[in-house]
Structure 1
Amino acid sequence: MDNIELLMSFGLTRQEARVYVLLLGEGALSGYEAAKRLGISRSNAYAALAGLVDKGAAYMAEEQAVQYHAVSIKEFCSNKLHYMEELSETLERQIPKQKQEDAKYLTIRGRRHIEDKFRNMLKETKERVYLSVSASVLDLFREELLRLVAQKKKVVLLTDEEYSMDGAIIYRTKKFENLSGSADCEGDADGQLRLITDSNYALTGELQDKETSTCLYSANPNLVRLLKDALANEIRLIEIEKKDASI
């Protein structure tokens, strides 16, 4: 994503984002100057500047001619995140509580959506996590896993490389080899993942590029039990191989 698209994720329109980037780079500008620099009409420039002021991304300085100063990107994003957190807390209080999750099988498509679900499952873990995934994907969720370990929750990891995480139980497996293609190519498939939290929720599928990633999520006891048995059998095989190698 380029800077304009990233800023649009924070609630700016495309035109507002363009003007904001201009202000950040050029300093204080009038509406006329902004329109001239970007090659847009003055009415569009003033509308964008008014939007930036309204959304907390710019301030007005009323001197001989009105000029607009950009709020720093760090301050703007921090304020927006704080505001969204407040809205989130309000919604959680006001929206009716979700009914107990049923045992349907839900398909989650797209890498970002899968990663979001992954993080939320870890965040909501109460007792234990069993995770089978390549080390390259494991690194993406290291912070969340370390937090679980610090909270004295059981974390069992199966991954394809020697991996260090104090407090976690780690098994090295060969199952991910050759799933990702060349390690030097960005965007290659990271391979399969299997995640079980609290023996109640399961996420399984493939984490590849943005478009082709697909996973299945469910609280269905049959799926959870199936994945648990598969992981347990894999751990037994790893332990047997380690024991045989030591003889």
Structure 2
Amino acid sequence: MEGILQQHLKHLGFTELEAKCLFVLSDSGTLTGYEIAKRLGVSRSNVYAALQKLAEQGVVLASKGEPTHYHCVPIDEIGNKIEADLQASIRYVKAHMPKQETERTEYFSLEGDAKVLERLRCELKLVKREALCDLWSEEAELLRGELQYAHDQGVRILVSAVGGADLPEGMLSFPHEREEAWQERSGRKFALLLDRKLAIVGTRGGGQPAKAMLTEHPAMVELLLNNFFHDVVMHELQRDMGEELARRYGQGFSKIVRKYTQD
């Protein structure tokens, strides 16, 4: 039996032995418990116990008489039954699981590309009113579907985009100028402030695992809000007075920065 198929059957709630029994029956048709045990090289008592449970679940048919013969129902029927059972369980859990209203004021960390992207996508789907996003083009593209979904739900979305992000029509956005060397040095930093309540910051790329931190701590929320509006103001000033600002204060306001950072 292929390991990947067995793993997926286990994900559907079957034990390892139950999965093997299902595979043998699907592959060979009607068999007795003795024949299945012989093919699998395991004890008959364990096989009979697994077959009895499968029969109780309605995914295996058992004949009357001795010896008992077993037959696997069509895989489409098994899939439909599992899907219906899962949907019923999900509906019940949603209706009866306690719903906590407490704020997540602790700082929760995530590591790994899959975990980070999954959390970003889930949180974007829960936004009710506003999403302020500071994203590189790579992350904007990966989150494009969730941004579109939120926008379609009437959420106000404003994106500070780096690298010419191609955002869905109707979203407010402005370019955020950053040097490519900055990306290569420390990865692509991103920040999201959702409903002015949940702050998410992290990095992807740069040869390091993706990392993110999320919190509803008021200090971090205010920090991201102020930083985002600072970027909005700077964008407008650069657009209207860019050449004059560079002449008076240096490229990237380097003259001001040196004034307060040099010893």
- In structure 2, the residue matched to 1:130 is 132
Q: CA deviation at 1:20?
A: 3.5
Per the alignment, in what secondary structure is the counterpart of residue 11 of structure 1?
A: coil
- In structure 2, the residue matched to 1:62 is 63
Are 2:51 and 2:60, in contact at CA under 8 Å, matched by a contact in 1?
A: no
- In structure 2, the residue matched to 1:231 is 228
Compared CA separation, residues 166 and 7, structure 1 to 2 (3 A): farther
Q: Residue by residue, what CA displacement relative to the aligned partner does 1:99-127 show, whole Å, maximum 9, x if unpaired?
A: 43152222234544434432332222111
Q: CA deviation at 1:160?
A: 3.5
Q: CA deviation at 1:225?
A: 1.9
Structure 2's unaligned 5+ residue stretches are 244-263
Structure 1's unaligned 5+ residue stretches are 182-188
Runs of 4+ in 1 over 6 A off after TM superposition: 178-181
Task: Give the TM-score normalised by the residue count of structure 1.
Answer: 0.70
1:167 to 167, 170, 174: 170
- In structure 2, the residue matched to 1:11 is 13
Q: CA deviation at 1:197?
A: 0.8
Q: CA deviation at 1:21?
A: 4.2
Are 2:106 and 2:216, in contact at CA under 8 Å, matched by a contact in 1?
A: yes
* Structure index of larger Rg: 2
Compared CA separation, residues 53 and 131, structure 1 to 2 (3 A): farther
Superposition pairs of residues 1-247 of structure 1, within 5 angstroms: 2-24=4-26, 26=27, 28-30=29-31, 31-55=33-57, 58-60=59-61, 62=63, 66-72=69-75, 76-77=78-79, 79-157=81-159, 158-173=161-176, 175=178, 177=180, 191-207=188-204, 212-236=209-233
Q: CA deviation at 1:47?
A: 3.5
Q: Give the aligned residue type for 1:198.
A: D
Compared CA separation, residues 155 and 36, structure 1 to 2 (3 A): farther
Q: Give the aligned residue type for 1:165.
A: P
Task: Return the alpha-carbon distance in structure 1 between the equivalents of residues 23 and 97 of structure 2.
Answer: 37
Are 1:160 and 1:177, in contact at CA under 8 Å, matched by a contact in 2?
A: no
Compared CA separation, residues 38 and 84, structure 1 to 2 (3 A): same
Task: Considering Cα pairs closer than 8 Å and 6+ residues apart, tell me whether 1 or 2 has the greater RCO.
Answer: 1
Are 2:111 and 2:212, in contact at CA under 8 Å, matched by a contact in 1?
A: yes
How well do the aligned residues superpose, as a CA RMSD in angstroms?
A: 3.9
Task: Return the alpha-carbon distance in structure 2 between the equivalents of residues 235 and 175 of structure 1.
Answer: 14
Q: Give the aligned residue type for 2:29.
A: A
Per the alignment, in what secondary structure is the counterpart of residue 2 of structure 1?
A: helix
Percent identity for Structure 1 against Structure 2? 22
Aligned length: 233
